[in-house]
Structure 1
C-alpha cells in the first residue's frame, strides 16, 4: 500500500481562508487602534479586559444559539 499525499486545497478554499485571515486582521487592528488611543497604560489594560469580556460574552451567545439550532 502506498500513501498518497492529500489533494491540495482548491482555489475556493484558499480564497476563503485568505478572506477569513483578512477579516481577523482587520478586527485585531481595530482593537489595537482602540487600545493605542487610550490615555494611559492603566486605561489600555482596562480597555483590553473589557474587549476580552465582550468577545467572550459574544462567543457564549453564539455558541448557545448554535446549540439551540442543532
Structure 2
C-alpha cells in the first residue's frame, strides 16, 4: 500500500511544528491555586513541568529539561 500525504496530514504537521517552535506563554500562579509538579525521568534526561490548575484548565508555570551524560 502506497502512503498518501493528505490535507489532514499536512494540517497535523503544521500544528506539530507550531507547537514545537513557539514556546508556551508561562503564567504566574496565584496564591490560592494548586500547583502540580510533573516529572519525566529517563536514563538520557530529566524533565520537570510546574503546572497550576485554574478554572480554565492547566497552565504551564515553569519547565526545565536536563540531558544526562555518563553517570550523572
The alignment's TM-score, normalised by the length of structure 1, stands at 0.31
TM-score normalised per structure 2: 0.30
Query: Which one has a larger percent strand, Structure 1 or Structure 2?
Result: 2
Which structure: greater helix fraction? Answer: 1
